[in-house]
Homo-oligomer: A and B are copies of this chain.
Amino acid sequence: MADLTDHQAAAWTSYQRMRVRLSGVLGRELARTTGLSEADFDVLVAVHERPDDSVRALALRCGLEWEKSRLSHQLRRMEQRGLITRETCEEDSRGSVVRLTPRGRELACEARKHYDEAVQRYVMDSLTPEQLSALAEIADTLLDRIEITHK
């Protein structure tokens, strides 16, 4: 197996730096404007997308592609801060149903607004339509690749 070429290594470095910086600024933007972490945000948005602002924990877990213990810890903290509630599930009493509190709903909307605006500002405003399409295509290609070699 040959080493990476200089060109490849440079591209990889740029990607890594971009990745770190980007989640840095987006995360700080969220924290500053709403006091939420990205994990909080992901959960709130995912739940808010469901009818009734409530969803089975299992479905949430699959949608987010999170470890079950990660979700469990995160939900515990969010419940303590009054963003969500947890009830035991009707159909399967092993399961639990997550529901947004009014405060959770409010923050979800607020955060979504700020977040999208930041993505617009930091990403969409800088890339040409061709670049954006190229990025999507690259991402989907790599996702397929990972999927395949890991199944």
Contact = CB atoms under 8 A, between A and B. Distances in A.
Interface in A1-35: 1-4, 7-8, 10-12, 14-15, 17-23, 25
A139 interface: yes
Copies of this chain per assembly: 2
Interface residues of A, number: 49
Given A8-B124, A121-B149, A134 B139 contact: no
Interface in A106-148: 116-117, 119-127, 131-146
B150 A15 contact: no
A22 B85 CA distance: 32
Contacts of A131: 134, 137-138, 141
A14 B146 contact: no
A92 interface: no
Interface of A: 1-4, 7-8, 10-12, 14-15, 17-23, 25, 65, 116-117, 119-127, 131-146, 149-150
